[in-house]
């Protein structure tokens, strides 16, 4: 795969899992990106549809495994100790990457909420101080 080439698109049916052997792949969400490198597996965290776009971040070599269901996965892993350990390690590492991403997004969201809440309270105090009628912001309660 050449850099920038689309590997899998969000909401496409998962027919293959791809093992990154060389290079990198960008896991592109609407809100963020995660860089997948050697031994990462595209498709391992999905059910039947890809959860995001996957784009070659740099020239990448991928091994494709037909994997539409649990039976396909079982056939890939039978008698393949090395592949099983790579798949297990990739699943754990990639889940950890996503949990760190979600944690970071949660922290930023909380910080933004506190910032907006502080500004709104300052606005209310200024209105009170200068005896100006407050304008209602209907979505502030949310």
pLDDT at 142: 59
pLDDT beneath 70: ranges in the chain: 140-142
Q: Give backbone dihedrals phi and psi of 40, rounded to 5 degrees, phi first.
A: -75, 155
pLDDT at 4: 96
pLDDT at 74: 85
9 Rama sector, left if φ>0, alpha if ψ -120 to 50, beta otherwise = beta
Reported as a single tens digit per residue, the pLDDT across 21-62 is 999 999 999 989 999 999 999 998 888 899 999 999 999 999
What is d(CA 84, CA 80) in angstroms, rounded to the nearest whole number? 6
């Amino acid at each position: 795969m050449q850099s920038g080439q689309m590997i899998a698109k969000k909401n496409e049916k998962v027919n293959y899992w791809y093992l990154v052997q060389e290079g990198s792949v960008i896991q592109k969400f609407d809100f963020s990106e995660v860089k997948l490198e050697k031994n990462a597996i595209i498709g391992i965290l999905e059910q039947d549809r890809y959860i995001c776009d996957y784009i070659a971040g740099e020239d990448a070599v991928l091994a494709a495994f037909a994997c539409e269901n649990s039976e396909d996965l079982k056939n890939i892993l039978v008698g393949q100790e090395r592949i099983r350990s790579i798949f297990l390690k990739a699943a754990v590492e990639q889940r950890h990457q996503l949990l760190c991403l979600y944690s970071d997004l949660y922290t930023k969201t909380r910080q933004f909420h506190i910032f907006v809440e502080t500004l709104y309270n300052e606005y209310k105090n200024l209105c009170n101080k200068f005896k100006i009628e407050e304008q209602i912001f209907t979505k502030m309660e949310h």
